[in-house]
């Protein structure tokens, strides 16, 4: 085998231009596949990061009525709070790193800083574990402490979006915001430790994104009744140990909460962001599968080119084959020699195609601002596939060489 590989490399090198042109179809096909697969993988990772957030493996389990999230004035009569025992049961779920209870108003009104109305913020009444579970870190001031909850202090924490919109040139710490006429003192500014932003390609994307970012205001849950109803439903934020467990953790948490509900129209539902990411990834992959099939056509053309050049090689080396047979070479030896040459030819084409594909993927990433991620399985698979092409399309010429009559071969001119 080693000797056959050496002879194959020597033969390819002696016909460099012909060998390169023969490999060109393989190179183009493999390069196209590597570039497409890398783009698919990069896009899928971008979708996942945009929806989930880097390192933020949190599932939010919210109370719904007839499939719609319950919030604000839609509170069903007699809605119960989540008991401490239930919360502990949720924290004991396998693959759960933490859990937090919170109340929420997605688009709160009546929030003023002096005479400035703050439009579209989300207000949340949170427990002591919320920031840790959600992955927030303090940027200015401090977080809530035990005495804020024990003494029912009307303090608040805002996120960076609210701080940037209201306090461009001054510190927000110590400032007062009014919520429905009740004054709250800002004691801190937080932001997510790891967060990903959507890819913005145009000014329209910019405005679309920022119009949906009203910011967040956080209150201790004990002072929630000061401005809102005391019996508003509680939602649960559950942090999974890995994104792969988000779906399972969310379903288990919802099942525990639903076991305590008395109203059949109510149910806790996990907002499975990972499942949304998978659906978008599948849509992206389905579209790009068509491109993979198109790219595969060039591999077929390259395989035919290999078969053609191997037939030419057999014709050129008929005398050599006849001489080998005359001194005792068996059919399998001749067959193995030409199959090895075809496999070496296509494997070299595959390696060059991989290099070209990686370069092409990087160029696509820079030109179109599309994320790419090189796939190691696709790279290894490409080399194996290119060798398989050589074996398949080199089989007919190799069999022709092995079956030559030695007398006729020696007479060939």
Per-residue pLDDT of the chain (413 residues), as tens digits, is: 676 677 667 767 777 787 888 888 888 888 888 887 787 777 766 665 655 554 468 888 888 877 667 766 566 665 678 888 999 999 999 999 999 999 988 877 788 988 888 877 889 999 999 999 998 999 999 999 999 999 999 999 999 888 888 887 789 999 999 998 899 999 999 998 865 544 434 434 433 444 445 689 999 999 999 998 777 788 999 999 887 788 889 889 999 998 888 777 788 888 755 555 565 556 556 666 666 677 677 778 788 888 888 888 877 777 777 777 777 778 787 888 888 888 888 888 888 988 988 888 888 888 877 777 777 777 888 788 888 888 888 888 888 877 777 666 666 55
Residue 245 located in a structural domain: no
Residues ≥6 apart with Cβ < 8 Å to 228 = 72, 103, 105, 123, 125
Range of 188's domain?
A: 71-91+101-239
397 and 313 in contact (C-beta within 8 Å)? yes
- 80 and 215 fall within a common domain: yes
DSSP string computed for 59-106: EEEEEEETTEE--GGGPPTTPPPPPHHHHHHHHTSTTEEEEEEEEEET
Based on the domain organization, do 310 and 385 belong to the same domain? yes
179 with 234, same domain: the answer is: yes
Total domain count for the chain? 2
Residue 300, CA distances (Å) to 33, 36, 293, 391 in order: 13, 17, 11, 13
How far is Cα 209 from Cα 198, in angstroms, rounded to an integer? 8
Structural domain includes residue 259: no
- 33 and 105 belong to one structural domain: no
| 182, β-bridge pairs | 179
* pTM exceeds cut of 0.75: no
């Amino acid at each position: 085998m080693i000797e056959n590989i050496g002879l194959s490399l020597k033969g390819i090198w002696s016909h460099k231009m012909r060998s390169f042109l023969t490999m060109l179809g393989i190179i183009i096909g493999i390069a196209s596949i590597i570039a497409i697969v890398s783009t698919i993988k990069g896009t899928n990772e971008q979708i996942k990061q945009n929806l989930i957030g880097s390192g933020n493996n949190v599932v939010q389990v919210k109370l719904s009525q007839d499939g719609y999230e319950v919030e604000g004035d839609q509170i069903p009569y007699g809605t119960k709070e989540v008991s401490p025992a239930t919360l502990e049961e949720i924290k004991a779920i396998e693959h759960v790193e933490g859990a937090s209870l919170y109340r929420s108003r997605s688009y709160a009104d009546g929030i003023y800083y002096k005479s400035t109305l703050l439009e579209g913020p989300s207000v949340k009444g949170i427990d002591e574990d919320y920031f840790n579970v959600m992955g927030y870190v303090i940027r200015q001031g401090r977080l809530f402490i035990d005495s804020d909850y024990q003494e029912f202090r009307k303090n608040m924490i805002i996120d960076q979006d609210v701080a940037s919109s209201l306090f461009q040139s001054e510190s927000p710490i110590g400032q007062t915001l009014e919520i429905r006429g009740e004054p709250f003192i800002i004691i801190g500014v937080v932001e997510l430790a790891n967060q990903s932003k959507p890819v913005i390609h145009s000014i329209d994307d910019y405005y679309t994104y920022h119009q949906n970012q009203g910011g967040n205001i956080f209150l201790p849950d004990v002072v929630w009744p000061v401005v809102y109803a005391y019996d508003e439903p509680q939602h649960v934020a559950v942090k999974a140990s890995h994104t792969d467990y988000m779906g399972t953790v969310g379903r288990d948490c919802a099942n525990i909460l639903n076991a305590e509900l008395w109203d059949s129209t109510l149910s806790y539902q996990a907002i499975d962001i990972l499942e949304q990411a998978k659906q978008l990834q599948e849509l992206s992959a389905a579209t790009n599968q068509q491109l993979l099939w198109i790219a595969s056509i060039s591999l077929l053309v390259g395989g035919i080119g290999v078969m053609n050049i191997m037939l030419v090689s057999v014709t050129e080396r008929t005398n050599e084959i006849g001489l080998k047979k005359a001194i005792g070479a068996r059919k399998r030896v001749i067959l193995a020699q030409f199959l090895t040459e075809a496999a070496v030819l296509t494997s070299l084409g595959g390696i060059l195609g991989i290099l070209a594909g990686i370069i092409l993927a990087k160029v696509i990433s820079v030109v179109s601002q599309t994320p790419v991620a090189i796939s190691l399985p696709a790279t290894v698979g490409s080399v194996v596939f290119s060798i398989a092409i050589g074996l398949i399309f080199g089989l007919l010429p190799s069999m022709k060489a092995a079956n030559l009559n030695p007398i006729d071969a020696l007479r060939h001119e």
